[in-house]
Structure 1
Amino acid sequence: MDLILPSSGLIIWQLIGFLALLFILVKFAWKPILSALEERETSIETALKAAEQAKAEMANLKAENEKLLQEARIERDNILKTANDAAAKMIEEAKQAAATEGAKMIESAKAVIENEKKAALNEVKNQVAQLTLEVTEKLLRKNLATDAAQKALVDDMVKDINLN
């Protein structure tokens, strides 16, 4: 049983050694260990706060990026709409200009055709008049070949003149 139970002198010396070790640790090691733990806790808290701040900052940057992207999309849509409107306006103006120019060309062509028509009609009238004169001359030469025929024609003309 002596092996299981320690003697009272051993217990006292162990108690004195433990108290001395405890006194030395409290006097010299306890404060540096506590200050190191507090320092570590402070650095961990600072790191956590910095991480939260960085996370919030990233969220803000992401929100700003989304806002800028949305504004860029809106601006792009506005630019495209303006460009499409300008293109449509230019096309419409070109169509109107082409229609106006076409109408002018048609009117000019009509005027040229009318002038050509009048010139052709005048030419035909002149030719008909010339042919009529030639035919009349030939007929008169044939009919008025004698003096008696000439005298009868003059008398008929004189009678017609008096009647009119």
Structure 2
Amino acid sequence: MNINATLFLQAIVFAILVWFTMRFIWPPLTKALDERAAKIAEGLSAADKAKTELATTQQKVGEQLSAARDDANKRLADAERLAQSMIEEAKTRASEEGAKIIASAKAEAEQEATRARESLRDQVAVLAVKGAEQILKREVNAGVHADILNRLKAEL
């Protein structure tokens, strides 16, 4: 065979191969590559979108944490103020109760002192009658001399 004919035949086979490739293989291949490129582009845009969403979400979370900390601090301060007011109220009630107890004890002591004075007056009156009886060497009737004994008690 001749080299020219071989070359010509190879050129025709090559042209048929190029035509067959351009007609049947190249379009699905380019379509697959275009679809892959579109998917990659969608993935990149989704990643960018996710990054921005992540940034905004992190910002919102930071704001919410800050708000939660502020709220917790406010509640803690309120609880401390409430505790202080409760302590002050308890101190006030305790001092009032102490004052009442002291006043009651003073009143009771006053009554006890009054009873002791009355008892002492009665004893002094009895002793005075016995002393007078001893002096007069006779019995003094307490019922008859009640008026005198009452005046004597009042003077004491």
Please report the TM-score for the alignment, with normalisation by the length of structure 2: 0.74
After superposition, residues 11-160 of structure 1 pair within 5 angstroms as 11-141=7-137
Q: CA separation in 1, counterparts of 2:96 and 2:23?
A: 109
What do you get for the CA RMSD once the two structures are aligned?
Answer: 2.2
> CA-to-partner distance for each residue in 1:81-131, whole Å, 9 max, x for gaps?
212221221122112101101111111110110111122022212312321
Match of 1:8 among 4, 9, 18: 4
Task: Give CA deviations for 1:122-153 in whole Å, capped at 9, x if unaligned.
Answer: 221231232123212321338xxxxxxxxxxx
Give the counterpart letter for 1:36 in structure 2.
Answer: A
Counterpart CA distance in 2 for 1:141 and 1:24 is 168
Q: Relative contact order (alpha carbons < 8 A, sep ≥ 6): 1 or 2 greater?
A: 2
Q: Secondary structure at the match of 1:37?
A: helix
- How far did residue 42 of structure 1 move? 1.0
Identity within the alignment, %: 36
In the TM superposition, what whole-angstrom CA distance separates every residue of 1:43-91 from its partner, at most 9, and x where no partner exists? 1101111122123223322332232233223222322221222122112
Q: Which amino acid aligns with 1:62?
A: Q
Aligned equivalents of 2:134, 2:24: Cα separation in 1? 161
Larger Rg: 1
SS in 1 for 2:65: helix
Structure 2 distance, partners of 1:25, 1:122, is: 139
